Amino acid sequence: MIQQRHSQTQHLRDWAYLGMEKYFRKAIAYEQKVLADQDPEDLHQMRVGMRRLRSAVSGFAPILDLPPQVSNKKIGKIARILGELRDLDVLQEALQAYQPQLKAKEKPLLEKALKKTSKRRSKAFQKVKKLLQGKTYQKFKQSVQAWLQEPHYQQWAELSINSVLPDLLLPYINQLLLHPAWWVGVTIDRDKIKRQTRLTLKSAEAQIAQHGEGLHDLRKQAKRVRYQMSLFRQHYGPVYQEYVQEIKQIQEVLGTIQDTLVLEGFLDEVLPSDWRTEGPTLAKLLSKQRYECWKKWYKLQQRYLSETVRQGLRHSAISPLIQVAVGENNTLINNQTSEEIAPGQTKNHHHRQDKN
Protein backbone atom coordinates (compact mmCIF):
# COMPACT_ATOMS: atom_id res chain seq x y z
CA MET A 1 0.00 0.00 0.00
CA ILE A 2 1.39 3.43 -0.97
CA GLN A 3 2.52 5.55 1.95
CA GLN A 4 1.13 8.93 0.88
CA ARG A 5 1.17 11.02 4.03
CA HIS A 6 4.50 12.83 4.01
CA SER A 7 3.76 14.31 7.42
CA GLN A 8 3.99 10.78 8.80
CA THR A 9 7.20 9.86 6.97
CA GLN A 10 9.71 11.31 9.40
CA HIS A 11 12.24 8.49 9.38
CA LEU A 12 14.85 7.75 6.77
CA ARG A 13 13.34 4.33 6.10
CA ASP A 14 9.99 5.93 5.23
CA TRP A 15 11.52 8.02 2.44
CA ALA A 16 13.51 5.06 1.19
CA TYR A 17 10.27 3.08 0.97
CA LEU A 18 8.47 5.91 -0.82
CA GLY A 19 11.22 6.19 -3.41
CA MET A 20 11.40 2.45 -4.02
CA GLU A 21 7.64 2.07 -4.34
CA LYS A 22 7.00 5.16 -6.44
CA TYR A 23 9.57 4.42 -9.12
CA PHE A 24 8.92 0.69 -9.23
CA ARG A 25 5.20 1.31 -9.74
CA LYS A 26 5.98 3.91 -12.41
CA ALA A 27 8.21 1.52 -14.33
CA ILE A 28 5.94 -1.54 -14.35
CA ALA A 29 2.86 0.59 -15.14
CA TYR A 30 4.19 0.91 -18.70
CA GLU A 31 5.28 -2.70 -19.15
CA GLN A 32 2.32 -3.92 -21.21
CA LYS A 33 2.26 -0.74 -23.28
CA VAL A 34 5.94 -1.21 -24.11
CA LEU A 35 5.19 -4.74 -25.28
CA ALA A 36 2.31 -3.40 -27.41
CA ASP A 37 4.82 -1.00 -29.01
CA GLN A 38 2.30 1.64 -30.04
CA ASP A 39 3.84 4.81 -28.59
CA PRO A 40 7.59 5.50 -28.04
CA GLU A 41 6.67 7.60 -24.99
CA ASP A 42 5.66 4.43 -23.11
CA LEU A 43 9.17 3.04 -23.46
CA HIS A 44 10.64 6.38 -22.42
CA GLN A 45 8.54 6.49 -19.26
CA MET A 46 9.39 2.91 -18.30
CA ARG A 47 13.07 3.60 -18.80
CA VAL A 48 12.86 6.75 -16.68
CA GLY A 49 11.11 4.76 -13.95
CA MET A 50 13.89 2.15 -13.97
CA ARG A 51 16.58 4.79 -13.88
CA ARG A 52 14.94 6.54 -10.96
CA LEU A 53 14.48 3.25 -9.16
CA ARG A 54 18.18 2.59 -9.64
CA SER A 55 18.91 6.05 -8.27
CA ALA A 56 16.80 5.33 -5.18
CA VAL A 57 18.53 1.98 -4.62
CA SER A 58 21.92 3.64 -4.97
CA GLY A 59 21.07 6.68 -2.87
CA PHE A 60 19.56 4.71 0.00
CA ALA A 61 22.03 1.81 -0.24
CA PRO A 62 23.49 2.40 3.26
CA ILE A 63 20.13 1.66 4.90
CA LEU A 64 18.46 -0.83 2.55
CA ASP A 65 18.58 -4.58 3.00
CA LEU A 66 17.53 -5.77 -0.45
CA PRO A 67 17.43 -9.24 -2.03
CA PRO A 68 20.19 -10.04 -4.58
CA GLN A 69 17.71 -9.76 -7.47
CA VAL A 70 17.19 -6.04 -6.72
CA SER A 71 20.80 -4.92 -6.94
CA ASN A 72 21.94 -1.69 -8.58
CA LYS A 73 23.73 -3.76 -11.22
CA LYS A 74 20.67 -5.81 -12.18
CA ILE A 75 18.40 -2.76 -12.41
CA GLY A 76 21.07 -1.12 -14.55
CA LYS A 77 21.05 -4.07 -16.95
CA ILE A 78 17.27 -3.78 -17.39
CA ALA A 79 17.57 -0.04 -17.96
CA ARG A 80 20.34 -0.52 -20.53
CA ILE A 81 18.30 -2.97 -22.62
CA LEU A 82 15.37 -0.54 -22.57
CA GLY A 83 17.85 2.22 -23.37
CA GLU A 84 19.11 0.51 -26.52
CA LEU A 85 15.60 0.60 -27.95
CA ARG A 86 14.97 4.14 -26.69
CA ASP A 87 18.17 5.41 -28.29
CA LEU A 88 16.99 4.11 -31.66
CA ASP A 89 13.63 5.82 -31.16
CA VAL A 90 15.48 9.09 -30.50
CA LEU A 91 17.55 8.60 -33.65
CA GLN A 92 14.44 7.89 -35.68
CA GLU A 93 12.61 10.94 -34.31
CA ALA A 94 15.61 13.17 -35.01
CA LEU A 95 15.96 11.96 -38.61
CA GLN A 96 12.24 12.48 -39.22
CA ALA A 97 12.45 16.01 -37.77
CA TYR A 98 15.26 16.93 -40.18
CA GLN A 99 13.50 15.46 -43.22
CA PRO A 100 11.30 18.47 -44.13
CA GLN A 101 14.32 20.79 -44.06
CA LEU A 102 16.34 18.86 -46.62
CA LYS A 103 16.52 19.46 -50.36
CA ALA A 104 14.88 16.87 -52.57
CA LYS A 105 18.20 15.43 -53.77
CA GLU A 106 19.33 14.86 -50.17
CA LYS A 107 16.24 13.00 -48.99
CA PRO A 108 17.25 9.56 -50.40
CA LEU A 109 20.20 9.60 -47.99
CA LEU A 110 17.84 10.17 -45.10
CA GLU A 111 15.48 7.47 -46.29
CA LYS A 112 18.35 4.99 -46.35
CA ALA A 113 19.31 5.96 -42.79
CA LEU A 114 15.70 5.58 -41.64
CA LYS A 115 15.49 2.07 -43.14
CA LYS A 116 18.67 1.07 -41.29
CA THR A 117 17.25 2.52 -38.08
CA SER A 118 14.02 0.58 -38.54
CA LYS A 119 15.88 -2.73 -38.98
CA ARG A 120 17.97 -2.16 -35.89
CA ARG A 121 14.93 -1.12 -33.93
CA SER A 122 13.15 -4.37 -34.78
CA LYS A 123 16.06 -6.35 -33.35
CA ALA A 124 16.24 -4.13 -30.26
CA PHE A 125 12.50 -4.51 -29.66
CA GLN A 126 12.78 -8.29 -29.76
CA LYS A 127 15.50 -8.02 -27.13
CA VAL A 128 13.22 -5.90 -24.93
CA LYS A 129 10.34 -8.32 -25.45
CA LYS A 130 12.56 -11.26 -24.46
CA LEU A 131 13.64 -9.35 -21.36
CA LEU A 132 10.17 -8.41 -20.15
CA GLN A 133 8.79 -11.90 -20.74
CA GLY A 134 11.82 -13.67 -19.32
CA LYS A 135 12.34 -15.37 -15.94
CA THR A 136 15.03 -12.96 -14.72
CA TYR A 137 12.83 -9.91 -15.09
CA GLN A 138 9.81 -11.69 -13.56
CA LYS A 139 11.94 -12.74 -10.60
CA PHE A 140 13.14 -9.15 -10.23
CA LYS A 141 9.55 -7.89 -10.07
CA GLN A 142 8.55 -10.56 -7.58
CA SER A 143 11.54 -9.70 -5.39
CA VAL A 144 10.70 -5.99 -5.33
CA GLN A 145 7.05 -6.69 -4.59
CA ALA A 146 8.01 -9.06 -1.77
CA TRP A 147 10.32 -6.43 -0.30
CA LEU A 148 7.60 -3.79 -0.47
CA GLN A 149 5.26 -6.15 1.37
CA GLU A 150 7.86 -6.79 4.06
CA PRO A 151 10.71 -4.25 3.82
CA HIS A 152 14.04 -4.82 5.56
CA TYR A 153 16.48 -2.09 6.56
CA GLN A 154 19.79 -1.57 8.26
CA GLN A 155 19.65 -0.39 11.86
CA TRP A 156 20.27 3.30 11.28
CA ALA A 157 17.24 3.53 8.97
CA GLU A 158 15.35 4.56 12.12
CA LEU A 159 17.12 7.92 12.15
CA SER A 160 15.07 11.03 11.52
CA ILE A 161 15.20 12.23 7.91
CA ASN A 162 16.08 15.64 9.37
CA SER A 163 19.47 14.51 10.54
CA VAL A 164 20.73 12.82 7.37
CA LEU A 165 19.38 14.71 4.35
CA PRO A 166 22.62 16.65 3.72
CA ASP A 167 24.64 13.44 4.10
CA LEU A 168 22.54 11.75 1.42
CA LEU A 169 22.73 14.63 -1.03
CA LEU A 170 26.20 16.13 -0.64
CA PRO A 171 28.17 13.14 -2.01
CA TYR A 172 26.23 13.41 -5.29
CA ILE A 173 26.60 17.19 -5.40
CA ASN A 174 30.33 16.95 -4.65
CA GLN A 175 30.84 14.48 -7.50
CA LEU A 176 29.01 16.86 -9.82
CA LEU A 177 31.02 19.92 -8.80
CA LEU A 178 34.34 18.06 -8.97
CA HIS A 179 33.72 16.67 -12.43
CA PRO A 180 36.64 17.57 -14.76
CA ALA A 181 34.34 18.50 -17.66
CA TRP A 182 33.64 21.85 -15.98
CA TRP A 183 37.19 22.80 -16.95
CA VAL A 184 36.87 22.11 -20.68
CA GLY A 185 38.32 25.11 -22.53
CA VAL A 186 39.44 26.72 -19.29
CA THR A 187 42.93 27.75 -18.19
CA ILE A 188 44.15 29.11 -14.86
CA ASP A 189 46.73 31.88 -14.80
CA ARG A 190 47.86 33.23 -11.42
CA ASP A 191 44.72 31.93 -9.72
CA LYS A 192 42.52 33.57 -12.35
CA ILE A 193 40.16 31.51 -14.50
CA LYS A 194 40.42 32.32 -18.20
CA ARG A 195 38.08 31.22 -20.97
CA GLN A 196 37.80 31.81 -24.69
CA THR A 197 36.00 35.07 -25.39
CA ARG A 198 35.22 34.35 -29.06
CA LEU A 199 32.74 31.54 -29.15
CA THR A 200 32.99 30.44 -32.79
CA LEU A 201 31.47 27.38 -34.38
CA LYS A 202 34.94 26.13 -35.25
CA SER A 203 36.23 26.41 -31.69
CA ALA A 204 33.07 24.79 -30.31
CA GLU A 205 33.40 21.82 -32.70
CA ALA A 206 37.04 21.40 -31.72
CA GLN A 207 36.22 21.36 -28.00
CA ILE A 208 33.35 18.92 -28.49
CA ALA A 209 35.47 16.61 -30.64
CA GLN A 210 38.18 16.54 -27.98
CA HIS A 211 36.03 16.40 -24.85
CA GLY A 212 32.73 14.86 -25.98
CA GLU A 213 33.10 11.77 -23.81
CA GLY A 214 33.82 13.80 -20.67
CA LEU A 215 30.89 16.13 -21.32
CA HIS A 216 28.60 13.14 -21.77
CA ASP A 217 29.79 11.75 -18.45
CA LEU A 218 29.04 15.10 -16.79
CA ARG A 219 25.54 14.89 -18.24
CA LYS A 220 25.03 11.48 -16.63
CA GLN A 221 26.25 12.78 -13.28
CA ALA A 222 23.88 15.77 -13.56
CA LYS A 223 21.03 13.33 -14.14
CA ARG A 224 21.97 11.31 -11.05
CA VAL A 225 22.09 14.47 -8.94
CA ARG A 226 18.73 15.68 -10.26
CA TYR A 227 17.04 12.36 -9.56
CA GLN A 228 18.41 12.27 -6.03
CA MET A 229 17.56 15.90 -5.26
CA SER A 230 14.06 15.42 -6.67
CA LEU A 231 13.37 12.72 -4.08
CA PHE A 232 13.47 15.35 -1.33
CA ARG A 233 11.95 18.42 -2.96
CA GLN A 234 9.20 18.59 -0.32
CA HIS A 235 11.85 19.34 2.32
CA TYR A 236 13.35 22.37 0.60
CA GLY A 237 12.46 25.89 -0.46
CA PRO A 238 12.53 27.76 -3.79
CA VAL A 239 16.32 28.12 -4.02
CA TYR A 240 16.76 24.36 -3.91
CA GLN A 241 14.03 24.00 -6.56
CA GLU A 242 15.86 26.47 -8.81
CA TYR A 243 19.03 24.44 -8.58
CA VAL A 244 17.13 21.27 -9.51
CA GLN A 245 15.78 23.02 -12.60
CA GLU A 246 19.18 24.39 -13.54
CA ILE A 247 20.81 20.98 -13.23
CA LYS A 248 18.07 19.70 -15.52
CA GLN A 249 19.09 22.38 -18.05
CA ILE A 250 22.71 21.20 -17.86
CA GLN A 251 21.57 17.64 -18.45
CA GLU A 252 19.37 18.58 -21.43
CA VAL A 253 21.90 20.85 -23.15
CA LEU A 254 24.71 18.31 -22.89
CA GLY A 255 22.23 15.59 -23.86
CA THR A 256 21.36 17.32 -27.11
CA ILE A 257 25.04 17.73 -27.95
CA GLN A 258 25.53 14.01 -27.32
CA ASP A 259 22.48 13.13 -29.42
CA THR A 260 23.91 14.97 -32.44
CA LEU A 261 27.24 13.18 -32.01
CA VAL A 262 25.51 9.79 -31.79
CA LEU A 263 23.44 10.60 -34.88
CA GLU A 264 26.52 11.61 -36.86
CA GLY A 265 28.29 8.44 -35.77
CA PHE A 266 25.30 6.40 -36.92
CA LEU A 267 25.26 8.15 -40.30
CA ASP A 268 29.00 7.54 -40.68
CA GLU A 269 28.31 3.86 -40.11
CA VAL A 270 25.31 3.31 -42.39
CA LEU A 271 25.85 5.85 -45.18
CA PRO A 272 28.64 6.32 -47.74
CA SER A 273 31.74 8.06 -46.45
CA ASP A 274 30.93 11.17 -48.51
CA TRP A 275 27.43 11.66 -47.03
CA ARG A 276 28.39 15.14 -45.77
CA THR A 277 29.15 16.16 -49.36
CA GLU A 278 26.02 14.49 -50.71
CA GLY A 279 23.86 15.84 -47.88
CA PRO A 280 25.35 19.22 -46.87
CA THR A 281 22.07 20.52 -45.45
CA LEU A 282 21.82 17.69 -42.94
CA ALA A 283 25.46 18.09 -41.94
CA LYS A 284 24.96 21.83 -41.40
CA LEU A 285 21.76 21.32 -39.41
CA LEU A 286 23.52 18.95 -37.03
CA SER A 287 26.46 21.31 -36.64
CA LYS A 288 24.19 24.30 -36.09
CA GLN A 289 22.11 22.53 -33.43
CA ARG A 290 25.27 21.46 -31.62
CA TYR A 291 26.65 25.02 -31.77
CA GLU A 292 23.45 26.53 -30.35
CA CYS A 293 23.60 24.09 -27.46
CA TRP A 294 27.29 24.81 -26.95
CA LYS A 295 26.51 28.50 -26.44
CA LYS A 296 23.97 27.57 -23.77
CA TRP A 297 26.50 25.25 -22.17
CA TYR A 298 29.08 28.06 -22.20
CA LYS A 299 26.81 30.19 -20.00
CA LEU A 300 26.01 27.34 -17.63
CA GLN A 301 29.68 26.45 -17.37
CA GLN A 302 30.55 30.06 -16.53
CA ARG A 303 28.05 30.06 -13.68
CA TYR A 304 29.31 26.81 -12.21
CA LEU A 305 32.90 28.01 -12.27
CA SER A 306 31.73 30.70 -9.85
CA GLU A 307 32.41 29.84 -6.22
CA THR A 308 29.27 31.79 -5.26
CA VAL A 309 27.04 29.50 -7.34
CA ARG A 310 28.86 26.34 -6.26
CA GLN A 311 28.63 27.30 -2.61
CA GLY A 312 24.97 28.17 -3.11
CA LEU A 313 24.26 24.64 -4.39
CA ARG A 314 26.03 23.07 -1.41
CA HIS A 315 24.26 25.40 0.98
CA SER A 316 20.84 24.63 -0.49
CA ALA A 317 21.33 20.94 0.33
CA ILE A 318 22.30 21.55 3.96
CA SER A 319 19.40 23.93 4.65
CA PRO A 320 16.14 21.95 4.50
CA LEU A 321 12.84 23.51 5.50
CA ILE A 322 12.51 21.25 8.52
CA GLN A 323 12.94 21.54 12.25
CA VAL A 324 16.17 20.18 13.68
CA ALA A 325 16.73 19.35 17.35
CA VAL A 326 19.82 21.15 18.72
CA GLY A 327 21.48 21.93 22.02
CA GLU A 328 21.25 20.38 25.44
CA ASN A 329 17.64 21.49 25.86
CA ASN A 330 16.68 19.80 22.59
CA THR A 331 15.46 23.22 21.39
CA LEU A 332 13.92 23.18 17.91
CA ILE A 333 15.05 25.66 15.27
CA ASN A 334 14.39 26.02 11.55
CA ASN A 335 17.49 25.10 9.60
CA GLN A 336 16.78 27.36 6.61
CA THR A 337 18.45 30.75 6.61
CA SER A 338 17.60 33.99 4.89
CA GLU A 339 21.16 34.03 3.51
CA GLU A 340 20.48 31.06 1.24
CA ILE A 341 21.97 31.86 -2.17
CA ALA A 342 20.05 31.20 -5.37
CA PRO A 343 21.80 30.15 -8.60
CA GLY A 344 23.79 33.05 -10.00
CA GLN A 345 23.16 35.34 -7.00
CA THR A 346 25.54 36.91 -4.54
CA LYS A 347 24.97 36.94 -0.84
CA ASN A 348 24.24 40.67 -0.65
CA HIS A 349 22.94 41.50 -4.11
CA HIS A 350 20.37 39.23 -5.72
CA HIS A 351 21.33 39.49 -9.37
CA ARG A 352 22.96 37.13 -11.85
CA GLN A 353 26.76 37.11 -11.87
CA ASP A 354 27.14 36.09 -15.49
CA LYS A 355 25.63 38.27 -18.18
CA ASN A 356 27.10 36.47 -21.18
What pLDDT sits at residue 349? 36
pLDDT digits (tens, 9 = 90+) for 220-231: 999 999 999 998
pLDDT digits (tens, 9 = 90+) for 101-148: 999 999 999 999 999 999 999 999 999 999 999 999 999 999 999 999
Q: Angle at which helices 72-98 and 135-149 pack, to 10 degrees?
A: 120
| In the chain, where the domains are located | 1-158, 160-356
Residue 8 has pLDDT above 70, yes or no: no
Level-2 CATH architecture, domain 1-158:
Alpha solenoid (1.40)
Interatomic CA distance for residues 251 and 219, integer angstroms? 5
Interatomic CA distance for residues 259 and 57, integer angstroms? 27
pLDDT band of residue 343 (cuts 50, 70, 90) is: low
The three-state secondary structure class of 180 is helix
Q: In percent, how much of the chain has pLDDT > 70?
A: 88
Interatomic CA distance for residues 327 and 182, integer angstroms? 40
What pLDDT sits at residue 9? 57
pLDDT digits (tens, 9 = 90+) for 249-271: 999 999 999 999 999 999 999 99
Lowest mean pLDDT among 86-95, 195-204, 343-352: 343-352
What pLDDT sits at residue 173? 97
Lowest mean pLDDT among 1-15, 26-40, 95-109: 1-15
Mean pLDDT over the full length of the chain: 87
What pLDDT sits at residue 54? 93
Residue 6 has pLDDT above 90, yes or no: no
Residue 322 has pLDDT above 80, yes or no: no
Interatomic CA distance for residues 34 and 26, integer angstroms? 13
The three-state secondary structure class of 326 is strand
What pLDDT sits at residue 194? 79
Is this prediction's pTM over 0.85?
Answer: no
pLDDT band of residue 345 (cuts 50, 70, 90) is: low
326-345 average pLDDT score: 41
Q: What is the largest CA-CA distance in the chain?
A: 80
Count the helices and strands in the chain (H runs, E runs). 12, 4
What pLDDT sits at residue 235? 87
What pLDDT sits at residue 1? 35
Sign of the Cα torsion 267, 273, 278, 283 reads positive
The three-state secondary structure class of 346 is coil
Residue 342 has pLDDT above 90, yes or no: no
Interatomic CA distance for residues 247 and 253, integer angstroms? 10
